[in-house]
A and B are shown apart, each in its own frame.
Chain A
Amino acid sequence: MDLAATFQGQAVDSTITLNILFNPANMASRSVDLNGPDLGPGARNSQSFTPPHVRSATYASDPATTLLSGAVALDIRVDKFGRIRNASAIFTTPSLTDAAISAVKKWRFTPGLFHDSPIDSNTVVVFVFRPPTTTTPPGSSPVPIH
Protein backbone atom coordinates (compact mmCIF):
# COMPACT_ATOMS: atom_id res chain seq x y z
CA MET A 1 0.00 0.00 0.00
CA ASP A 2 1.23 3.48 -0.88
CA LEU A 3 2.06 5.96 1.83
CA ALA A 4 0.00 9.15 1.84
CA ALA A 5 1.77 12.09 0.29
CA THR A 6 3.06 14.62 2.78
CA PHE A 7 4.75 17.95 2.58
CA GLN A 8 6.56 19.32 5.62
CA GLY A 9 4.89 16.64 7.74
CA GLN A 10 1.33 17.36 6.63
CA ALA A 11 -0.81 15.00 4.53
CA VAL A 12 -1.64 16.74 1.29
CA ASP A 13 -4.85 17.10 -0.64
CA SER A 14 -4.70 17.06 -4.39
CA THR A 15 -6.52 17.67 -7.63
CA ILE A 16 -6.90 15.65 -10.81
CA THR A 17 -8.29 16.97 -14.06
CA LEU A 18 -10.59 14.95 -16.32
CA ASN A 19 -10.82 15.99 -19.98
CA ILE A 20 -13.86 14.48 -21.67
CA LEU A 21 -14.13 15.00 -25.42
CA PHE A 22 -17.52 14.49 -27.07
CA ASN A 23 -16.36 13.35 -30.48
CA PRO A 24 -19.06 12.99 -33.14
CA ALA A 25 -18.37 11.27 -36.42
CA ASN A 26 -16.72 12.97 -39.37
CA MET A 27 -14.64 15.44 -37.39
CA ALA A 28 -11.59 14.51 -39.51
CA SER A 29 -8.79 15.60 -37.15
CA ARG A 30 -10.29 19.05 -36.59
CA SER A 31 -8.96 21.10 -33.73
CA VAL A 32 -11.09 21.25 -30.61
CA ASP A 33 -12.27 24.78 -29.94
CA LEU A 34 -10.68 25.77 -26.63
CA ASN A 35 -11.74 29.39 -26.88
CA GLY A 36 -14.46 30.65 -24.63
CA PRO A 37 -14.58 30.98 -20.90
CA ASP A 38 -12.71 28.68 -18.59
CA LEU A 39 -14.86 28.34 -15.51
CA GLY A 40 -11.71 27.64 -13.45
CA PRO A 41 -9.18 28.49 -11.81
CA GLY A 42 -10.10 25.34 -9.92
CA ALA A 43 -6.97 23.46 -10.70
CA ARG A 44 -4.68 25.00 -8.11
CA ASN A 45 -5.15 23.93 -4.53
CA SER A 46 -3.78 24.23 -1.07
CA GLN A 47 -0.75 21.97 -1.38
CA SER A 48 0.38 23.73 -4.54
CA PHE A 49 0.06 20.84 -6.95
CA THR A 50 -1.31 22.07 -10.25
CA PRO A 51 -2.32 19.29 -12.65
CA PRO A 52 -1.42 19.34 -16.36
CA HIS A 53 -3.69 21.46 -18.53
CA VAL A 54 -4.72 20.96 -22.18
CA ARG A 55 -3.20 23.60 -24.49
CA SER A 56 -4.45 22.17 -27.80
CA ALA A 57 -6.51 19.16 -28.79
CA THR A 58 -7.84 17.47 -31.91
CA TYR A 59 -10.78 15.18 -32.54
CA ALA A 60 -10.09 11.58 -33.47
CA SER A 61 -10.56 10.54 -37.05
CA ASP A 62 -10.54 6.95 -38.07
CA PRO A 63 -12.92 4.87 -40.18
CA ALA A 64 -14.11 3.09 -37.05
CA THR A 65 -15.04 6.37 -35.36
CA THR A 66 -17.55 7.13 -38.09
CA LEU A 67 -19.39 3.85 -37.57
CA LEU A 68 -19.34 3.07 -33.88
CA SER A 69 -20.28 4.59 -30.57
CA GLY A 70 -18.46 4.02 -27.32
CA ALA A 71 -15.98 5.53 -24.90
CA VAL A 72 -12.24 5.21 -24.41
CA ALA A 73 -10.65 6.59 -21.23
CA LEU A 74 -6.89 7.13 -21.23
CA ASP A 75 -4.53 7.69 -18.32
CA ILE A 76 -2.00 10.16 -19.74
CA ARG A 77 1.48 10.65 -18.31
CA VAL A 78 2.69 14.18 -19.08
CA ASP A 79 6.36 14.91 -18.49
CA LYS A 80 7.83 18.08 -17.04
CA PHE A 81 8.10 19.56 -20.55
CA GLY A 82 4.41 19.00 -21.35
CA ARG A 83 5.07 16.05 -23.64
CA ILE A 84 3.02 12.86 -23.48
CA ARG A 85 5.22 10.09 -22.14
CA ASN A 86 2.62 7.35 -22.01
CA ALA A 87 -1.07 6.78 -22.75
CA SER A 88 -2.75 3.69 -21.34
CA ALA A 89 -6.40 2.75 -21.55
CA ILE A 90 -8.35 2.49 -18.30
CA PHE A 91 -11.64 1.96 -20.11
CA THR A 92 -11.80 0.64 -23.65
CA THR A 93 -14.09 0.10 -26.56
CA PRO A 94 -11.68 -2.20 -28.40
CA SER A 95 -12.26 -1.04 -31.97
CA LEU A 96 -11.95 2.63 -30.98
CA THR A 97 -8.97 2.54 -28.64
CA ASP A 98 -6.29 2.90 -31.30
CA ALA A 99 -8.05 5.93 -32.82
CA ALA A 100 -8.22 7.59 -29.39
CA ILE A 101 -4.54 6.94 -28.61
CA SER A 102 -3.49 8.15 -32.03
CA ALA A 103 -5.48 11.39 -31.60
CA VAL A 104 -4.34 12.13 -28.06
CA LYS A 105 -0.70 11.93 -29.10
CA LYS A 106 -1.31 15.17 -31.05
CA TRP A 107 -2.58 16.99 -27.96
CA ARG A 108 -0.36 19.50 -26.16
CA PHE A 109 -0.31 20.17 -22.42
CA THR A 110 1.17 22.57 -19.97
CA PRO A 111 3.03 20.40 -17.42
CA GLY A 112 1.86 19.75 -13.88
CA LEU A 113 3.52 21.90 -11.22
CA PHE A 114 4.53 21.09 -7.67
CA HIS A 115 5.46 24.22 -5.74
CA ASP A 116 5.81 26.01 -9.08
CA SER A 117 8.32 23.51 -10.48
CA PRO A 118 7.27 21.32 -13.43
CA ILE A 119 7.00 17.61 -12.62
CA ASP A 120 5.86 14.44 -14.40
CA SER A 121 2.19 13.92 -13.61
CA ASN A 122 -1.04 12.35 -14.85
CA THR A 123 -4.28 13.48 -16.35
CA VAL A 124 -7.23 11.70 -17.90
CA VAL A 125 -8.59 12.08 -21.42
CA VAL A 126 -11.86 10.41 -22.40
CA PHE A 127 -13.10 10.19 -25.98
CA VAL A 128 -16.85 9.65 -26.29
CA PHE A 129 -17.65 8.64 -29.86
CA ARG A 130 -20.94 8.87 -31.67
CA PRO A 131 -21.74 7.70 -35.23
CA PRO A 132 -23.70 10.00 -37.56
CA THR A 133 -27.18 10.52 -36.25
CA THR A 134 -29.96 8.91 -38.23
CA THR A 135 -32.87 10.15 -36.19
CA THR A 136 -35.28 12.71 -37.55
CA PRO A 137 -34.97 16.04 -35.73
CA PRO A 138 -37.95 16.77 -33.50
CA GLY A 139 -40.68 18.80 -35.21
CA SER A 140 -39.77 17.79 -38.71
CA SER A 141 -41.72 15.32 -40.78
CA PRO A 142 -40.49 13.14 -43.60
CA VAL A 143 -41.05 14.46 -47.10
CA PRO A 144 -43.45 12.17 -48.94
CA ILE A 145 -42.07 10.54 -52.08
CA HIS A 146 -44.47 10.34 -54.99
Chain B
Amino acid sequence: MRQLAAFLALVLLVFGFTFTLTTAQINFVPPRAVYAGDLIYPDTIASGLVMLSIGLDSAGHVKDLKTLRDVPSATGHSLMAANAWTLRPPSRARL
Protein backbone atom coordinates (compact mmCIF):
# COMPACT_ATOMS: atom_id res chain seq x y z
CA MET B 1 0.00 0.00 0.00
CA ARG B 2 2.81 2.39 0.91
CA GLN B 3 4.59 1.53 -2.36
CA LEU B 4 1.45 2.28 -4.34
CA ALA B 5 1.09 5.66 -2.64
CA ALA B 6 4.74 6.47 -3.35
CA PHE B 7 4.29 5.46 -6.99
CA LEU B 8 1.18 7.62 -7.36
CA ALA B 9 2.96 10.58 -5.76
CA LEU B 10 5.85 10.17 -8.21
CA VAL B 11 3.47 10.03 -11.18
CA LEU B 12 1.69 13.19 -9.99
CA LEU B 13 5.01 14.98 -9.49
CA VAL B 14 6.27 14.12 -13.00
CA PHE B 15 2.91 14.99 -14.56
CA GLY B 16 2.72 18.29 -12.69
CA PHE B 17 6.25 19.29 -13.72
CA THR B 18 5.63 18.39 -17.36
CA PHE B 19 2.32 20.27 -17.34
CA THR B 20 3.97 23.37 -15.85
CA LEU B 21 6.73 23.35 -18.47
CA THR B 22 4.33 22.72 -21.34
CA THR B 23 2.06 25.53 -20.20
CA ALA B 24 5.06 27.82 -19.88
CA GLN B 25 6.17 26.98 -23.43
CA ILE B 26 2.70 27.67 -24.80
CA ASN B 27 2.62 30.96 -22.90
CA PHE B 28 6.07 32.13 -23.86
CA VAL B 29 6.12 34.47 -26.87
CA PRO B 30 9.80 35.02 -27.78
CA PRO B 31 11.22 38.49 -28.42
CA ARG B 32 11.29 39.94 -31.91
CA ALA B 33 12.34 43.05 -33.77
CA VAL B 34 9.51 45.32 -34.91
CA TYR B 35 11.53 48.09 -36.54
CA ALA B 36 14.97 48.19 -38.10
CA GLY B 37 16.68 51.26 -39.47
CA ASP B 38 18.88 51.63 -42.54
CA LEU B 39 22.33 50.16 -42.65
CA ILE B 40 24.96 51.47 -45.07
CA TYR B 41 27.66 49.23 -46.49
CA PRO B 42 30.88 50.45 -44.90
CA ASP B 43 33.77 51.61 -47.03
CA THR B 44 35.41 48.20 -47.17
CA ILE B 45 35.76 45.22 -49.45
CA ALA B 46 34.78 42.92 -46.58
CA SER B 47 31.83 40.58 -46.92
CA GLY B 48 30.26 38.01 -44.62
CA LEU B 49 27.93 37.53 -41.70
CA VAL B 50 27.97 39.57 -38.49
CA MET B 51 26.01 37.99 -35.64
CA LEU B 52 24.96 40.11 -32.68
CA SER B 53 23.24 38.95 -29.52
CA ILE B 54 21.05 41.54 -27.80
CA GLY B 55 20.07 40.87 -24.20
CA LEU B 56 16.70 42.40 -23.23
CA ASP B 57 15.13 42.85 -19.84
CA SER B 58 11.47 42.08 -19.31
CA ALA B 59 10.53 45.63 -20.37
CA GLY B 60 12.42 45.39 -23.67
CA HIS B 61 15.36 47.58 -22.66
CA VAL B 62 18.73 46.54 -24.07
CA LYS B 63 20.84 45.09 -21.27
CA ASP B 64 23.84 44.06 -23.29
CA LEU B 65 25.02 43.77 -26.85
CA LYS B 66 27.52 41.08 -27.76
CA THR B 67 29.27 40.18 -30.99
CA LEU B 68 28.93 36.47 -31.73
CA ARG B 69 30.50 36.58 -35.20
CA ASP B 70 32.77 39.33 -36.35
CA VAL B 71 33.53 40.79 -39.77
CA PRO B 72 36.28 43.31 -39.07
CA SER B 73 35.39 46.74 -40.46
CA ALA B 74 31.67 45.89 -40.65
CA THR B 75 30.85 44.94 -37.05
CA GLY B 76 31.11 48.51 -35.77
CA HIS B 77 28.52 49.70 -38.29
CA SER B 78 26.23 46.84 -37.26
CA LEU B 79 26.48 47.65 -33.55
CA MET B 80 25.65 51.31 -34.16
CA ALA B 81 22.67 50.45 -36.35
CA ALA B 82 21.28 47.87 -33.92
CA ASN B 83 21.09 50.50 -31.17
CA ALA B 84 18.42 52.36 -33.17
CA TRP B 85 16.13 49.35 -33.62
CA THR B 86 12.86 48.74 -31.80
CA LEU B 87 12.67 45.37 -30.08
CA ARG B 88 9.68 43.76 -28.42
CA PRO B 89 10.45 41.82 -25.24
CA PRO B 90 9.15 38.32 -24.65
CA SER B 91 5.54 38.21 -23.55
CA ARG B 92 2.78 35.88 -22.44
CA ALA B 93 0.32 34.69 -25.03
CA ARG B 94 -3.32 35.41 -24.29
CA LEU B 95 -4.92 31.96 -24.03
Which residues of A does B touch, CB under 8 Å?
Answer: 2-8, 11-24, 27, 32-34, 36, 38-40, 42-43, 45, 49, 51, 54, 57, 59, 69-71, 73, 75, 90-91, 112, 114-115, 117, 119-122, 124, 126, 128-130, 133
Contact = CB atoms under 8 A, between A and B. Distances in A.
- Name B's interface SS: mixed
B32 A122 contact: yes
A21 B46 CA distance: 11
A20 B52 contact: yes
B30 A49 contact: yes
A124 B36 contact: yes
A114 B71 contact: no
- Name A's interface SS: strand
A18 B92 contact: no
Nearest to B30: A121
Contacts of B4: none
A5 B41 contact: no
A22 B51 contact: no
Contacts of A120: 30
A90 B34 CA distance: 6
A18 B49 CA distance: 10
Contact of B68 (A32, A40, A59): A40
Interface in B39-77: 39-42, 45-59, 63, 66-71, 74
Contact of A43 (B47, B53, B59): B53
B29 to A, nearest CB: 7
Given A2-B91, A40-B51, 8 more contacts: A2-B29, A14-B89, A22-B42, A40-B53, A49-B28, A117-B21, A122-B32, A126-B36
